[in-house]
Homo-oligomer: A and B are copies of this chain.
Amino acid sequence: MAAEKIYRASTTAPVNIAVVKYWGKRDAKLNLATNSSLSVTLSQDDLRTLTTATCSSSYTGDDSLTLNGAPSDITGARTQACLRELRSLRQALEDADAALPKLSAMPLRLVSENNFPTAAGLASSAAGFAALVRAVADLYELRSLPTDLSLIARQGSGSACRSLFGGYVAWRHGTQADGLDSRAEQVAPASHWPQMRALVLVVSAAKKGVSSTSGMQQTVGTSDLFGERVARVVPKHMDAMEAAVAARDFASFAEVSMKDSNSFHACCADTYPPIYYMNDVSRAAVRAVEAINEAAGKTIAAYTFDAGPNAVIYYLEENSGPVVGTFYGLLRGTEGWKDEAKSYSSSSIQLDEAVSSIVKGGVSRIIMTGVGEGPTKTEQHLA
């Protein structure tokens, strides 16, 4: 008897960092958002999840997930929702064509690895769920468009839906109760703005804060300022951001990014009890960016912060001198610099002593990266 075939597909998927933030669900089960969001997909050369999905009728037992070498819980409602939806799409194909192997009935084995450490403090749930959904969709040879797959990834982790695309990606919050219009779409590809770069300052010893899922619902439930953000601030920021990206207007891109990050963290501080993701190191990074812009006489760098203290600083390659140079000047001994960083240090600007010392003492790692592609099929397999 022939050995039973093992079906396999591997994909890499990216991390994304929002410049107009998702914070607040209007439906927790389907992960529908109170407002739209827009993100920049970071380059997979620097940050990516690689996932291999296999299935076989020779497998016994339940689906399994191995994450960075260790068994991971696959029974959670979110992961189950993704797998259920994907199986259902595969089953529809099998029902329509009896010749297709019944992959939907076989146990799945998923093996996933990040090329960046957990210590980087970069939430990997977006890249992880995007990779899972893409890998299984490829395994199942689904015909769904990425925007349709984003509906599934969204149910795993809201921001994961944006990692189904490269470049500049919007998650339209939608209004339907069934969530079918709450999906991601690409606003512009990475190639649209080749000069865009990102510098991540990983803040050391950061104690794990309130989980995003829990935190955002506390904000929805208790912040009196939040309604204004949803009704007026985010729509204004989304329009301005899309226009800025289309026009490659960095000053506007930066201003909206900084304002939206501030607005999101303000709503967290207005939550009861208050949620504080940024710390004194984060705020020193804000001051450093302001000083860089002040010295340049125009906005050449933007800060943004997610649900944690790490700073993500966007800038254009042509301004690497003052931007990278200034942080390299403070943090030359810190892990993560690319070789080119050293060449910019002569363009560093002088920072306030207190700001310098807080940044120096508080940043444990650097990640230099750019804008990249969405999930990419690979022949590199983990299983």
Contact residues of A with B, CB < 8 Å?
A: 207, 223-225, 227-229, 232-233, 236, 255, 258-259, 262-263, 265-267, 269-274, 276, 279-280, 283, 286, 290, 354
Contact = CB atoms under 8 A, between A and B. Distances in A.
A262 B233 contact: no
Contacts of A280: 279-280
B273 A290 contact: yes
Given A255-B272, A280-B280, 15 more contacts: A224-B229, A224-B233, A224-B236, A224-B259, A225-B225, A225-B228, A225-B233, A225-B263, A259-B272, A262-B270, A262-B272, A263-B270, A266-B266, A274-B286, A279-B280
Interface of A is mostly: helix
A223 B260 CA distance: 11
Contacts of A265: 269
A289 to B, nearest CB: 10
Contacts of A286: 273-274, 276
A295 B271 CA distance: 21
A229 B286 CA distance: 25
Nearest to A281: B280
Contact of A269 (B229, B266, B273): B266
A28 B262 CA distance: 26
A263 B274 CA distance: 10
Contacts of A255: 272
